[in-house]
Amino acid sequence: MEEESDFRKINNSFLRDHNYATEADIISTVEFNSTGELLATGDKGGRVVVFQREQESKNQPHRRGEYNVYSTFQSHEPEFDYLKSLEIEEKINKIRWLPQQNAAYFLLSTNDKTVKLWKISERDKRPEGYNLKDEDGRIRDPGTITTLRVPVLQPMDLMVEATPRRVFSNAHTYHINSISVNSDYETFMSTDDLRINLWNLEITNRSFNIVDIKPTNMEELTEVITAAEFHPHQCNTFVYSSSKGSIRLCDMRASALCDNHSKFFEEPEDPSNRSFFSEIISSISDVKFSHSGRYLMTRDYLTVKVWDLNMESKPLETYQVHDYLRSKLCSLYENDCIFDKFECVWNGSDSVIMTGSYNNFFRMFDRNTKRDVTLEASRENSKPRAILKPRKVCVGGKRRKDEISVDSLDFSKKILHTAWHPYENIIAVAATNNLYIFQDKIN
Amino acid sequence: MGQRDITQFEASMKRRKNIISAVSMCRLDVESAVVKKEVETDGGDGALSSSRYTLGRGVKRKQSSCEDLDLPYPQQRQLVLDLCLDKLQNCQQRAEPSLHRSVLLANTLRQIQQEMRQEGETCLPPAPLGPSLHASTPRHFPDLPPVPLDCPPPLIGALSPLFPLTNASEDVQLGGAENETVLPSFAVEENARSSDSLFGSFEITNSTSYLTDLPLDDIFEDIDTSMYDSSDISVLPFPAQRSGGMDDGLKNASCCSSNGSLQLCLSDLNDLDHIMEILVRS
């Protein structure tokens, strides 16, 4: 109950908008860092925008911890593979933060083929008074150097610099769909449609293939990997989900190549729901370990499921995200929406899960009270510091006031990417080219 | 270490100076209520969905071609199948199609084909379905990411005989109530021809690439083949007994021809015997 009332109180105390207007501006990933101080977004144009939470100030308590732009940089550029005659899109598929170990921040960003490690650091001093070069960096005429001096650090305007520190490339034939940093903080994995590679964060010219489901004969291919993630605490354990709706848990201690899973999570198909689209809608678009490491959450087209790592036969909980679309599958197939890849996230205490839907709606499910709420991320319906009103989609013929009919949902407005602050009730919701940040009501 | 090779890219921002502009850029200005340009999601798809779903209340929406749940099952299935083929074909036209999407589509296609085959076994002579089923879905896969260059334009063209069929079925459903009376007759006609014309087109796919892509073509070089257009060739029976279907046949054929023992190879594939007859006659 408490959680539920929390969500009703969640307001848009700071609603943001990037002033975006083109295809390149569509947000393709959102991720908080491990402290929640920073929030990164990636977009189709290959840019990464990092927001930083403002320090709380006693003078302006209502402006508690708003997020402001901290750094913007071009992470990936469009490329051309001359060997294959292929264009490689610059779109950022995923961003993952590394735990902070010093004053600088590190994040991994990936497009379809290449993972990059970026360092984001602040600089508020600059060295001045070099002997061999002048202030602009030009070499001085040795004839003019008459005295030696000691360079000094002078204060300057604070600069936030983003520099690429590592580029992990040439290891993926297919499209990278996920990256995950291991809890040993030394390795990470990158996953494409058919393979998972393990990298050391320091080594860019070598990676280890830990999963390979590519059949020798590609004609026999019926399944692809859709997402993968490391266990939050056990560095030897990871899971990957497939387009057939199953999840495999692998133990890297068992063998170097984890072709044999140690656990296989799958729910038998309900024959009463069988349709032409059963296969497509059962494809898992995202898999996430709970913070505790005890549960897994998976998202398929119509549902989000919570699995207990100790029960492989069926999910512990199944939540309907937008079951009213079940009768619309044919149209959604026709207009390609059925292939949309919705992601899902846990709240800090693993008691609430959140995932997106259409019409700029997103859903929250309270696992304890089994209550759920539909909220809308839109400029029209929300003012700063206003409380979000729960929305309701009307399924039957009779539409009540404040309800929206299934037929008037806008399927071009979809919320695919969301993020939840690691321990506070602050959420970030990407709606096409807008980023909305909502937080608990401040009392 | 690889990172030394990277050109240093510095994206920095003067924080103090820009923070004010950043804030004002970020804060939603509710008072001014600026109508922002909304980005349409990718091209046609987005347009399709928005035009279909965003009409205001009271406006009668255009009936989606497959939303009519009253459609007889075989027609629904045919529609899904047609869309599936259409989407797979579009996939191939992209430089690097999504493997995930292609696999989902191909599995759906397989499922429907299997269903149709099972029905076909009970009410249709199974013969024409056998080999083409093998050839149909797998044919798409060699053209996926690892060997994208293997996806030649002729292949796409070769699938085109499918279109009249697709269009016909779409017209029927888009027509709505008016055409509903016509439906039953259409259903029968389409059912009867759907399977073989569909699979027939796949055979064309194979036979065209057979003639254009392989060294065999050189051998036919000085023969006037204009009289045998692709549809004629598609009628040629292919070696159904070969386990791997068409591709195996092609591999054998190409390796044989490179050994200069084409004649032997073709006589091996005794189904192609009458190609030889044609050759000899001309």
What letters, b where the CB count within 10 A reaches 16 and e where it falls short, cover B203-220? bbbbbbbbbeebebeeee
Q: Nearest CB to A432: which of B6, B39, B149?
A: B39
CA dist., res. A125 & res. A157, Å (int): 8
Q: Nearest CB to A218: which of B27, B56, B142?
A: B142
A443 band by pLDDT with thresholds 50, 70 and 90: low
Lowest mean pLDDT of A139-143, A161-165, B223-227, name the range: B223-227
CB B176 within 8 A of CB B63: yes
CA dist., res. A43 & res. B98, Å (int): 19
User: Is B16 an interface residue toward A (CB < 8 Å)?
Assistant: yes
User: Which of B91, B104, B206 to probe the A interface (max A CBs under 10 A)?
Assistant: B104
Residue A324, pLDDT above cutoff 50: yes
Higher-confidence residue of B206 and A17: namely: A17
Q: Considering only CB atoms, which chain A residues are within 8 Å of B3?
A: 164-167, 204
CB A100 within 8 A of CB A33: yes
A33 contacts: CB under 8 Å, gap ≥ 6: A39, A40, A97, A100, A105, A107
- State which residues form the domain around A68: 35-121+161-439
Q: Considering only CB atoms, which chain B residues are within 8 Å of A411?
A: 49-50, 52-53
pLDDT value of position A138: 86
Signed CA dihedral, B27, B29, B34, B38: sign only? positive
CB A192 within 8 A of CB A225: yes
pLDDT value of position B68: 47
CA dist., res. A330 & res. A277, Å (int): 8
CA dist., res. A394 & res. A406, Å (int): 6
pLDDT value of position A57: 64
Other Cβ atoms closer than 10 A to A264 = 11
pLDDT value of position A302: 96
Supply the angle between the helices B99-123 and B73-93 in degrees, to the nearest 10: 140
pLDDT value of position A188: 97
CA dist., res. A306 & res. A288, Å (int): 9
Q: Which residue of A has its CA nearest to B115?
A: A276
pLDDT value of position A131: 87
3-state SS class at A384 = coil
CA dist., res. A383 & res. B28, Å (int): 8
A196 band by pLDDT with thresholds 50, 70 and 90: very high
Task: Check A410 against B28: CB less than 8 A apart.
Answer: no
B65 band by pLDDT with thresholds 50, 70 and 90: low
Q: Work out the minimum CA distance from B41 to partner chain A, whole angstroms.
A: 6
Q: Work out the minimum CA distance from A161 to partner chain B, whole angstroms.
A: 4
pLDDT value of position B97: 79
Per-window interface: B 184-243 vs A, CB < 8 A? none
pLDDT value of position A358: 96
What letters, b where the CB count within 10 A reaches 16 and e where it falls short, cover A267-303? beeeeeeeebbbbbbbbbbbbbbbbeeebbbbbbbbb
CB A435 within 8 A of CB A41: yes
pLDDT value of position A93: 97
Q: Work out the minimum CA distance from A268 to partner chain B, whole angstroms.
A: 18
pLDDT value of position B66: 57
Task: Check B41 against A412: CB less than 8 A apart.
Answer: yes
Residue A433, pLDDT above cutoff 70: yes
Task: Check B142 against A283: CB less than 8 A apart.
Answer: no
User: Is B38 an interface residue toward A (CB < 8 Å)?
Assistant: yes
CB A184 within 8 A of CB A235: yes
CA dist., res. A395 & res. A378, Å (int): 22
Share of chain A above pLDDT 90, in %: 72
- Asked if residue A24 is part of any domain, the answer here is no
Higher-confidence residue of B10 and A56: namely: A56
A59 band by pLDDT with thresholds 50, 70 and 90: low
Q: Considering only CB atoms, which chain B residues are within 8 Å of A92?
A: none
CA dist., res. A218 & res. B138, Å (int): 8
A193 band by pLDDT with thresholds 50, 70 and 90: very high
User: Which of B6, B32, B39 to probe the A interface (max A CBs under 10 A)?
Assistant: B39
User: Which of B5, B13, B32 to probe the A interface (max A CBs under 10 A)?
Assistant: B13
pLDDT value of position A4: 39
For chain B, give every domain's residue range: 73-118
B69 band by pLDDT with thresholds 50, 70 and 90: low
Q: Nearest CB to B19: which of A68, A74, A205?
A: A68
What is the Cα B103 distance to its own chain's centre? 12
pLDDT value of position A382: 65
Residues B137-193 pLDDT 10s: 333 333 333 333 333 333 333 333 333 333 333 333 333 333 333 333 333 333 333
Higher-confidence residue of A244 and B74: namely: A244
CA dist., res. A344 & res. A287, Å (int): 8
Q: Considering only CB atoms, which chain B residues are within 8 Å of A70?
A: 13, 15
What is the Cα A395 distance to its own chain's centre? 31
Q: Nearest CB to B39: which of A26, A174, A409?
A: A26
A64 band by pLDDT with thresholds 50, 70 and 90: low
Angle at A418 between CA A412 and CA A420, to 5 degrees: 160
> Closest by alpha carbon to A160, among A36, A35, A42, A68?
A68
Q: Which range, A267-276, B65-74, B207-216, is most confident?
A: A267-276
pLDDT value of position A442: 61
Q: CA B138 → CA A110, A280, A342, A435, B135, distances in Å? A: 31, 19, 29, 42, 6
Q: How many CB pairs under 8 A join A and B?
A: 214
Q: Work out the minimum CA distance from A201 to partner chain B, whole angstroms.
A: 12
Query: What is chain A's mean pLDDT, rounded?
Result: 89
Overall residue count recorded for chain B in this entry:
282
A361 burial class (0-12, 13-18, 19+ CB within 10 angstroms)?
buried
pLDDT value of position A176: 97
The domain total for chain A is: 1
Per-window interface: B 103-122 vs A, CB < 8 A? 103-104, 106-108, 110-112
Q: CA A185 → CA A16, A91, A230, A233, distances in Å? A: 32, 26, 11, 11
Secondary structure (H, E, C), B199-250: HHHHHHHHHHHHHHHCCHHHHCCCCCCCCCCHHHHHHCCCCCCCCCCHHHHH
CA dist., res. A253 & res. B172, Å (int): 59
Q: Nearest CB to A160: which of B3, B12, B98?
A: B12
> What are the DSSP calls for A217-233, one per residue?
SGGG----EEEEEE-SS
Q: Which residue of A has its CA nearest to B43?
A: A23
Higher-confidence residue of A271 and A337: namely: A337
Higher-confidence residue of A244 and B8: namely: A244
Residues B95-138 pLDDT 10s: 667 899 999 999 999 999 898 888 877 764 444 333 333 333 33
Q: Work out the minimum CA distance from B281 to partner chain A, whole angstroms.
A: 38
CA dist., res. A258 & res. A262, Å (int): 9
A69 band by pLDDT with thresholds 50, 70 and 90: very high
B235 contacts: CB under 8 Å, gap ≥ 6: none
Amino acid at A153: L
Domain containing residue A185: CATH number:
2.130.10.10
Residues B212-270 pLDDT 10s: 333 333 333 444 444 433 333 333 343 333 333 334 333 333 333 333 333 333 333 44
Given the structure tokens 């933060």, which residue do they identify?
Answer: A97
pLDDT value of position B78: 87
- Asked if residue A220 is part of any domain, the answer here is yes
Q: Considering only CB atoms, which chain A residues are within 8 Å of B14?
A: 157-159
Lowest mean pLDDT of A66-75, A156-165, B69-78, name the range: B69-78
Residues A341-364 pLDDT 10s: 999 999 999 999 999 999 999 999
Strand partners for A265: A247
Task: Check A219 against B141: CB less than 8 A apart.
Answer: yes
Residue B23, pLDDT above cutoff 50: no
- Joined together, the tokens standing for residue B254 give 């190409």
> What are the DSSP calls for A280-302, one per residue?
HHHS--EEEE-TTSSEEEEE-SS
ipTM confidence: 0.87
pLDDT value of position B42: 37
pLDDT value of position A62: 59
Residues A234-288 pLDDT 10s: 999 999 999 999 999 999 999 989 989 999 999 998 888 888 899 999 999 999 9
CB A70 within 8 A of CB A105: no
CA dist., res. A339 & res. A238, Å (int): 25
Q: CA A438 → CA A10, A72, A100, A430, B26, distances in Å? A: 6, 22, 25, 11, 14
